[in-house]
Structure 1
């Protein structure tokens, strides 16, 4: 039974580590006397986002920060996104709607759209937000207050995800879990070491001077995970980049269907772990042990009456429930963590095989290597 004791101890350590590590994920809070002397450019790239336009504009229209411009760029949409943007923003002078240029060779589509937006922006801070995001009215005050308090040139965070499909429920909230489990947040938020970095392209705020100094999005023009790579460029150049818990201030309707969830994760997962086969093998073994095995032991224990075998599953639930409670996601998701673990493993292999077979990743009508 030594193996069982070691396994239980490992899960206890995982719980304690995650709880301690989460203490260094900064909350998003406005300063006591937040001034609006610095202009903010809120920048949103859109490609075939007609279903998100109304909710996006309603959310952005409620922003209370006074020194604000909002630039929306339609990236060759084919579903009427551009026309709907024009019709819903005509009465608010803070909005400017742009049409994107043709995608040059060697550029990722979203990266090129963000690059074009940055060229038109006049703010001291650039706030890159995805079209499927919704934010609270005071999000800019909170973000600037946090950045100034922490002396950060860049801030990013993973939003709350109100999922409505099985795969999205299982996979999307795991982004929070992966950060809290794998990333030493003390090092990530208090040092400029590039290896300790994570970011979410849905929500990025960056000082314009620092952005230009590192080469902006042009420095990561061919990246499929440009958010992380841009954050690393910031740290390589000595700028402080921090992660914040933004779940009470921003949400994202990230994927609209199971098929879109599968395609999105397949595009990003293998690239996100450095396209390393050895890392896929290592994470497969790690997740099989930590996330899948407790479920198997629990089933075996209930069948045989060896109820002590349920203990690893209880510890796994505790771990996931803590993460979900911190990030506002439904607590019932924790009971399905073994299923989510199996799906995450399957997604890693599916993502890797696309690259290994010389195929391309498909996203929003474009192909990427």
Structure 2
């Protein structure tokens, strides 16, 4: 056997293994789609609910977010604690006007995070400290809740017996870049996370949550240390769930398709900067990120490339990847076709964004809303005897 023949045989074997693995992942996606917890029908919540809304430069979105929250049905005892994190636009004035009109809104204002903190964990911690509800619901300003979405999320938390649930909103993706990348979020946890095991296991690797919409028992939140325990974490949502698990609680991502909608990024520039902020943190280490990207490329890009060259196994692997994307999209209310057909392109673009995230982190140029995405170290107090 010549060297060329040997290389071709190895490549063909890699494609066949990738095709089989992709088919298995597609089947797992179907299973998870059936296991995904769904909120009960609308009903009344018989406890005080505190909605935590951290905002920074959200003048364009604040009105819509607050209007939807105030229109919530089935939550008679509601407070909305909004923390304005040193906004530079009209957010502060708009918030003050809303607070004057409706007593359910508690308006807080801050001058930015102290050393050792990132902005969002600090805003959430300050707002949660002022909240008086037995349930805390964290939402972002780019999330629009359905009229019964808040009540159903709280009822799901209580009915499930979990300490934290993270309803995944229906994602709105308009631009080509959003349509390529955003569906990977829902696909990733539906395809790769064993949902029922994730509920029970304290393992950090089995944790998925979205800070856009997160519902947690107030006592469990405080027992876990709240956002103080994740003060310097870029992915504070996943870190908070891990803290809850470490303190003996349980939690998982759940279906929020009918509870809320969310347009996380508006166009390529916002999407690029958002992922460049977070993907390095998701990997934890350059080698780990490289291994994750390499595995995804092997499973979903290699078969597509082989299919173009006439490989039947490659075509089967490509179709399995597309099938998994279709299942995830239809289960979470996303756009399914023809977007799913571009799954290999989506995975390839994710690799680029991961590399960009590490590049910016190493250069110290990763920012979000005008701030660096790494917390400044806390100031040291005077030494003993000084």
TM-score normalised by L of structure 2? 0.88
Q: What does residue 346 of structure 2 align with?
A: 340
1:268-347 map, 5 Å: 268-273=278-283, 275-301=284-310, 309-332=314-337, 333-347=339-353
User: Which residue of the other structure, out of 14, 34, 40, is the alignment partner of 2:25?
Assistant: 14
Structure 2, gaps ≥5 residues long: 1-8, 375-386
Task: Summarize deviations over 1:154-175 as a string: whole Å, max 9, x none.
Answer: 1113211111222222112211
Deviation at 1:308, TM superposition (A): 7.1
Cα distance between partner residues in 2 of 1:35 and 1:7: 49
- Residue 76 of structure 1 corresponds to which residue in structure 2? 86
Task: Quote how far apart the aligned CAs of 1:337 are.
Answer: 0.9
Quote the residue 2:129 is aligned against. Answer: 119
Q: How does 1:342-361 map to 2 (within 5 A)?
A: 342-355=348-361, 357-361=362-366
Q: In 2 relative to 1, CA 289–308 (structure 1 residues): closer, same or farther, beyond 3 Å?
A: closer
**Superposed displacement of residue 88, structure 1:** 4.2
**Counterpart pick for 2:189 among 159, 163, 179:** 179
Query: 2:377 — aligned with what?
Result: none
| CA distance in structure 2 between the aligned counterparts of 1:191 and 1:291, rounded to whole angstroms | 28
Give, in angstroms, the shift of residue 251 of structure 1: 1.3
CA contact (8 A) 1:158 1:175 kept: no
Structure with bigger gyration radius: 2
Figure out how many residues of one structure are paired with residues of the other and give that number: 361
Structure 1 window deviating more from structure 2 (226-235 vs 4-13): it is 4-13
1:296-334 CA deviation, whole Å, 9 max, x = no partner?
A: 233333xxxx77753332222111111111111111210
CA RMSD across the alignment: 1.9
CA distance in structure 1 between the partners assigned to 2:18 and 2:198 by the alignment? 28
1:181 positional shift: 2.3
Question: How far 1:112 moved relative to its partner?
Answer: 0.6
TM-score of the pair, normalised by structure 1? 0.92
Secondary structure of residue in 2 paired with 1:23: helix
Secondary structure of the residue that 1:247 maps to in structure 2? strand
Deviation at 1:338, TM superposition (A): 1.3
The residue number in structure 2 matching 1:212 is 222
Alignment partner, residue 143 of structure 1: 153
* 8 Å contact from structure 1 (residues 41, 126) kept in 2: yes
Question: Does the C-alpha gap of structure 1 residues 348 and 249 become closer, same or farther in structure 2, counting only changes over 3 Å?
Answer: same
Query: Contact 1:43 / 1:126 at 8 angstroms: preserved in 2?
Result: yes
- Per the alignment, in what secondary structure is the counterpart of residue 210 of structure 1? helix
Matches within 5 A, 1:86-105: 86-105=96-115
User: What residue ranges of structure 1 are gaps of 5+ in the alignment?
Assistant: none
The C-alpha deviation readout for 1:172-208, integer Å capped at 9, x for no partner, is 2211111122222121123344431111111111111
3-state SS in 1 of match to 2:168: coil
Q: Is the 8 A contact 1:57 1:89 kept in 2?
A: no
Alignment partner of 1:229 is 2:221: no
Paired residue secondary structure (1:196): coil
Deviation at 1:5, TM superposition (A): 4.1
Q: Tell me, yes or no, if the aligned pair for 2:19 and 2:299 is still in contact at 8 Å.
A: no
Partner Cα distance (1:316, 1:15) in 2: 7
